[in-house]
Structure formats: C-alpha cells, structure tokens
Chain A
Amino acid sequence: MTEFEPVLLKRISKKASPSLDAYRADGGYRALTKALNEMTPAYVVDSVKASGMRGRGGAGFPCGVKWTFLPKDHPGPIYLCINADESEPCTFNNRILMEEDPHQVLEGVVLACYAIGAKTAYFYLRYEYGRAYRALQKAIDEMYAAGLLGKNIMGKGLDCDIFLHRGAGAYICGEETGLIESLEGKRGWPRIKPPFPAIEGAFRKPTIVNNVETMACVTHIIDRGADWFKSIGVPPDPKNPRDAGSYGPKLYCISGHVNNPGCVELPLGVTVRELIDKHGGGVWKGRKAKGVIPGGISMGIMTEAEFDTPLDFNGPGKVGCLGLGTAAITVFDDQTSIVDVLYGIARFFAHESCGQCTPCREGTGWMMKILDRMRKGLGRVEDLKILDDVAKSIGIMPGTTICGLADGAGWPIKNAVQKFRSELEEYIRKGERSTAASLQMVGAH
C-alpha cells in the first residue's frame, strides 16, 4: 500500500506560508475560479453530494444532503455558519487548519456560500483560539483586498461577506442551534427542533452550519472532483443499511499517553492500533495501553482489545461506541485508573451542561458526584448500576433531551461500566483512593 499523500495538510506539512500569495502559488483559489467560471451553484451542491462527504464536525451527516434541505427559491437572506467552536476535549484538527492554512478553509467557505446562495457567512470561533482568530482575520483582510470577498467577487457577480465571531468559551455553543443562539447574542441554549436550522436558523432565516474541516474538504472536492474524493476511504458497510460510507481524507488527532501526539491526515478507516503505533509513536514510557477515547470524550471508550476497529463513520459503533465523532483519539496507559478517567469526563459534562433540560442538568452533576465519591474510596457496587441507569435515562434513550450533550455524557459511562466492570468493582471492593492530582479545569472552560 502506497503511502497516503496528505491533501488537507499538504501545505501545512511543508510549513508553507499561510499568506494569500503563497496559497495562490500552490494552486489556491483555483477551485473558486473554476466554480465561478464553469459551475452553477446547483452543480457545486451536486458535486459535494456526489462525493459522499459526511460532515467532519462529529455527527457525520452528509454535507451535500444538508445543503439540499434549504427551502427552494427562498428570497433570502440565507446564512452560512462555520462551526469553529472546536471544544470537544482532545480535538484540534480545526485549529491546525485555521492557524496554518486559513485560506484553504476560507476558499471552501466562499464556495459553500456560492453553492447555497448565502451572501453572509458567520465564522463562529471559540474564544480560546486567539492565534486562529488572528490568522483568520489576516486572511480575511487579504481576501477583501484581493477582491475575493465583498461585492462582485472575481467580477462574477457573487457577493459574499465573512464575519469572524468569537464565542465565550462554552462547549454547548458547538451544538449547531446553541451556536446560532449564541451568535444572535443570547444564552447558548440549543433550540428545540423542528424547525431545523436549514428552515429557520440564525435570525430566523435559513441557515447551514458546517464544520471547518468540512469547508476545507469542499475546496478539494471542487478542485479535484467528487470521484477523486470517493476514491479515498471506505465504501458503505453492506451489513449496515444505515451506513452511507466514509469517503475522503480525515484529520486524526492523537493525544494522551503516546510518544508523539499530533494531528495526522489519513484516509478514513484507519485502525486505532495503526494510529497509536505508526503515527503516535507508540504508548509512552514503554507501557501498554489500557484503552482509548475515540473521537472526543462523547463517543465512549474502547479497550485495548478493540484497537483493530477501523475509525470510520461505521466502525466505532460496532464495538459499542457512539460513532467517529471528531476522530480525535486519546490514549490512556495501563497505569491509569479508569475511575480517574471517568471522573474527568463526568466533571467536564457536569460543567458544560447548559442546564436547560432536566435529565442532563441534574444527571451530569449526579454522575460527577458519584464518581467523586468513588475516587475517595467510598464507592458502592450498586453505584455502577445507578451510573448505568443515569447514563441511559439522561441521553442514551433517544429523545430525553433537546441536544446531544447528554448522549455524549452518558456514552463513556455506559461503555466503562460495561467494559471495565471488573476493574471498577475491584476498585470499589478495595476501597481504593485516587492518587491522581485533582483534575483542575484549566483555561478553556
């Protein structure tokens, strides 16, 4: 198998300059020129749809299909929101794209605006990404100066403005309707659906919310064609009728107890083991891995035995995890207490639950309190049953809450109680106490 040549990280791995001139010298804005000269908006939508690209934000909804949900012949305005509120723990693929190669993303944004008929794009950036903010703002200024934004882009009659909007650091503002509420200047509380944002989103107008990496992929799909995109990745699993396939390159973030943490670009479908051993330089300090959190902490936990699971949109589900998520794996070694891992996770969700829906508001706090008691050596075996039940009732059972936060909060707990039951019982029986330093919430939250 030949080595995969990076696409999204191509310029970044060469340490190419993020400036507009350098980007153009490397073939930048070729896709936009091509689209404006040769393609109708509908053709762009169809290309993205044909590529089978699924959104890179976590839910994996096919991007082109989402675009077609917009009402036909709407008098406008239609808005595009770029979800750059990358707040899933251990995830930093968007950050690298925005900081190191912003034009690649912004070209995709203009292409998407052209495709869906939006004249305004809001770039919702999490507050903590100061460097990304500066890089993006500089790139946007360059684009205005070069006539790539504003009125009548490239003389083709396309008007497009991009506004950078910085969030205030809440995880929930990464949920698409929470993002929209926050963008409107309100509390970032996810909205009840229907209406879905494509019908009534920001400022009560049709709105598409897309991830940063999705936008970067759009650039390459238009540049190289849908067939090229489809030649990478994994076709649909015939055993799973709901799997729409996992095509294209994907940025994988590797963090935790590995020798070389970082972000790598690979075709979808790479296994966890390959990521750790080949790209992450193996588990640190010569230890063995106990498990991994695949795709951000909302997706659950995989044990070492499950490391051959391919990380595509279908794979993690086969071993009881929620899905691919953001494809950011966090490795923990065999000397890490699973109780500490769970407490850290539960504490995060208790802190980030917006407090709107009762099950999530109260359930996340309760799970944190139970795990805190456990790590103080006061756990009871029946606590495991309670944890499992709370996890199920707050989010895993479909429909119990407005958004997916509680689902994500429940999944790692459910996985751990199932997969690490003997360790948890042992911990409780021995009355062990956590030796880990109290996990402090730092900076971001």
Chain B
Amino acid sequence: MATVHINGAAVDIGDEKLNLVQAAKKAGVEIPSYCWHPALSVVASCRMCLVEVGEKKPDGTVAMQPRVVPACQTPAKDGTVVNTISEKSKYAQERTLESLLLNHPLDCPVCDKAGECGLQDYTFRYGRATTRMIEEKNTPPNKDYIGDNVTLFTDRCIMCSRCVRFTREISGTSELQILNRGHHAEIDIFPEEPLNNKLATNVVDLCPVGALCSKDFLYKQRVWFLKTQQSVCADCSTGCSTHLDYNKDIVYRLRPRDNPQAQGHFMCDEGRLDYEYVNAKERFQQPLARVEGKLTPQAWEKLGPQIRSELVGLARKKGDAIGAVLSPFLTVEEAYLLAKLMKSIAPKARLYLGYVPVRGKDDQYPQDRQGNPVGPAKFTIRAEKCPNRRGVEAVLRQLQGEVLPFETAVRDAGNGTLQALFVTAGYSPNAGQWYQTAQLESLKKTPTLIVQDLMPSTLSAEAKYVIPAATWAEKDGVFVNHANLAQAIHWAVRPGWFGRTDGQVFADLMERRGLLNAEGLRKELAAEIPALAPLAGNLGEQGVKLR
C-alpha cells in the first residue's frame, strides 16, 4: 500500500509500480509528457513532465527536493509528494514548451494532426500564446520518401524519439534513426531502407505532433469532423481493439485502442488499412432474387417471407436437406440467430462453420532484419485471418453438437444431400478468396442457394437469392479472439441502402419483431450456451475472457 500526494490530494496506488505520470493520472491530474509511452523505454528527454517532488516524512513534515525531476522517470513511492502547479514546475513546463515551439513551423492550418496534436493541446494548457524568438526558424526539408504508408514532415518534429524507439523495441526492425546533433537533429531512415515493416503506421499514432502522417489518411478529413466508435479489427484472430473514425457513413481510418487484454497499444498496417471495402460502391445495396434466370432487385418485405416459406417447404419434405454456413466474420449474436433460425425451421438442419482463412504463420514482433522473432513477443499478427472463429464454433458446438467444416458443406452440396443452403460470407479482402473453383462447382448444385455477401462474386452469380451483408463497421455484436477474449464492436456507419445488418435479416426471417438488440440477444444466448455465459454481463471497453 503506497500513498502518493499529488498537488495536496492523497491517492492510494496500492502495490502497482507506477511512475509519477501514471500516479498523477490516478489522482485525476495530468502531467504533460511527450517522450514517455507506457510500451516504450523511458528516455526522459522531452523534459515536458518536469515537476517538483518531495517526500512526506512519517512525522508529517514535507521535504521538497531543490531540483525539478522528470515525472516519467521517477517512481511513485509511499510518501512521495508531487507538485505539478508550483511556480517552479509551471516555469519548467512553460519553458520546455517555448523551446519546442522555437523551431516548429506552426503550420497547423495545413497540418493533418491539428485538432489532435499534443503540441497544440499542451501549448493551450501550459504554454504561452506569443513567442519571444525573432530569429529565423530552422527549416529542415521534408523527407521525400521514408516508407509506403508513412510520410515525414521533418520541420514539425519535436524529437521525442518515440518512433525510433518503436522500431527498435516493438517492431525490432530499426528503420528509423536520429541524424545530426543539437537543434539540427532530425529523424530519418537509413539510405535505401524504408520504413516498410508491417507495424509501420503505429509511429503515426505515437507521434505527438504532425511530423509522421499516415499517407492513407493524409488530407482526407479534418479530425474535428470525425466521430469515433469503439470497434475490433476483423483482419486476424488477434482481435486488436480499435478506434473507428468515421463521418457521414464513411469510415476514414482505424486506430489502435489500448487494451492489455487483447493486443496492447498497437495494431498492424494490414488491419489498419483494410477498411476501404466498407465504403466501396460495389457492395450489394438491395436483396436480389433470380427471376427468369436473372438476378433482379426485390423488396425485402416480400422477399423475406418468400425465402422463409421456401426453406420451410423444403424442410418439411426432408429435415436435413437444408443447411447454413456460418461465416467466421459473423458476430456471436448473428451466428446464434442464424443457427436458431435454421433449427427452428428444421431441428435436423445442418450448420457448418464457414471457411477459415489461414495464411502463412503467426508473424511475431519484435523481429530482426531477416524477419526472425527476437525475444518475448510484443505483438503478433496471426495467420488466421478472421475475427470470430471461436465465437461461431461455440455456437455450433451447442446448437449443432459439433463443428462441421466448410469442406463438409461443399461435399454435402456436391452430392445432392442439400436442397437449400444459406451461405453467409462477409470476408474482408485481406482474408483472400474464400472458395475455390471446384468448391463453387459443388455449391452451385444446391437448388436453393442463398448467398449473403458484401460484393458480387462468382458464387453470388450462381445464387437463387442474394442478400447484402454488413461489415463490422455497421453492426453491434461480439467477436471472440484467439485467446477467448470476447470484445464488443459497435456500429458506426449505416449498412447502405438496404439498411439491415446480417442479424436483422436473420431476425426478420425468424419472424422476430422489432429491431435487433445485441445486448438483449447476448443475455438470451448466454443463458442457452454455457460456454458463452460471461456475455450476459457488461463487456466493458476491454471485453471479457470466456472460460
């Protein structure tokens, strides 16, 4: 038990090992800092977090140190006294900010970081509005090219060295370095060695100013127009927690959201940049049905009951002649609903797990220049390129009794066992092609082939009915990652003209009334499926572990 006194208020930090920045945060006090980051080594070089500290003796007297100390480097101990608002602390912080702005171009109006910039924020809170320097600023030229996804505006850099430490400590690839000395120091790559590792764009999030910018997001949108929703990356089974930034039904970018239970602080470029398909114009906008050999748009109010009665009719003839493929891109709730839908029509209906995309091996970081992992893993891009295999499997195990793989669905379709097959897909482009030509030949033998997908494909071209699918950006629900961590995703943009998520489609087909409520549905499925029982409670921002 340790008590730290921050600006006169005592705060109990328990047995945690914290520095003064973290301890102050617990007391609700912000100590400004740039170079410090919880995932990186401490360098204490930006000197933004200078504070006065002292020690409270057991007899109640306080002895303050004559010097200011960097809060990031100073461990919080029992009896530590911190004053962040004393004359000395404020003087040190103000002077550091003045120094940082001396050679900063102040080109906020054209800077992509404006609005979420650490330098702007702290200057507003701790700095001064005018400069005392009348000399010319140093204007190092911007770098032509440092990597495919990241661009460097050298003059905006405040030399916190977070990016350099990231490439050395997290990705391990060490592309970035500091050149020159003193006020001419700058960040650069080694000649002919661009910053192209798979975690590269994290340096943009780490950069407290607008020096490192994402080429993907550059000049697309001012950040103050963006709204943010909590989401989870769907591109591999790591299930990185993300911030989804959107405006007017367009997704603009994904950023990692700190979650020690999931991935930590970062995310890979593969997942980060794989969102364009959400905004794609080519997506299905309305349900289609084959009329006189041609897929024609239909009103859902008419088509829904038609599909249902067709399934019911087929099931009446032969109970196990209908089936559904549950894509690992469905949320747990959706998988549950689809499974319940099929089983309510025919208890013997067959439920299959959709194709599980696996590519290569798990990609573990930090790694050396040859790509071999070094030391304990700090970030892993997983080979399984889908977000919810485990969640769907949990549903299948309970409602089907076993997990029938996609190949079984193909076989059953090929040998004529199935009269109707409801195939859900919704694969992200990063998952790759999810069926092979031979599999297509088998699948299309099913007389009533219902395909629910994002975009037209050779499979949807063979379908009797096509229903638009929704992406993770458009729905509420739960994904279960590789480590059985169940995390909630939330909708941010609307699913096109059709306006229905996959779950809503299943609910409509089940003749459930009203709009889908993911939370209520979770309570329902948690009661029915013991493995998913923890989903009944509040999932919070970081999710809950199953089992």
Contacts and interface: CB of A to CB of B under 8 A. Distances in A.
B183 A402 contact: no
A334 to B, nearest CB: 30
B47 A357 contact: yes
Nearest to A362: B99
A352 interface: yes
A354 interface: yes
A401 B68 CA distance: 10
Chain A binding surface SS class: helix
A369 B48 CA distance: 23
Interface residues of B, number: 39
A359 interface: yes
Contacts of B178: 187, 355
A377 interface: no
Contact of B182 (A192, A353, A372, A386): A353
Interface in B14-70: 42-48, 50, 65-70
- Of B70, B135, B159, B183, most buried by chain A (CB within 10 Å of CB) is B183
B95 A354 contact: no
Contacts of A399: 50, 65, 67-70, 92
A393 B48 contact: no
A420 interface: no
Contact of B102 (A172, A362, A393): A362
A253 interface: no
Contacts of A370: 135
A355 B180 CA distance: 8
A397 B73 contact: no
A398 B47 CA distance: 12
A365 B67 CA distance: 24
B96 interface: yes
A400 B73 CA distance: 13
Interface of A: 170, 172, 187, 192, 350-359, 361-366, 369-370, 372-373, 386, 389, 393-394, 397-402
B92 A393 contact: yes
Given A352-B181, A353-B181, A358 B99 contact: yes
A358 B103 CA distance: 11
Nearest to B73: A192
Contacts of B344: none
Given A353-B182, A361-B183, A362-B183, A192 B159 contact: no
Given A366-B102, A373-B135, A398-B66, A354 B47 contact: no
B177 to A, nearest CB: 8
A401 B133 CA distance: 21
Contact of B181 (A192, A354, A357, A358): A354
B95 A357 contact: no
| Chain A CB within 10 A, most for which of B95, B100, B135, B181 | B181
Contacts of B45: 356-358, 402
Contacts of B68: 397-400
B132 interface: yes
B91 interface: yes
Given A351-B182, A356-B45, A361 B99 contact: yes
B158 interface: yes
Per CB-CB distance, the 4 closest pairs between chain A and chain B, nearest first, are A399-B67, A365-B183, A355-B185, A398-B67
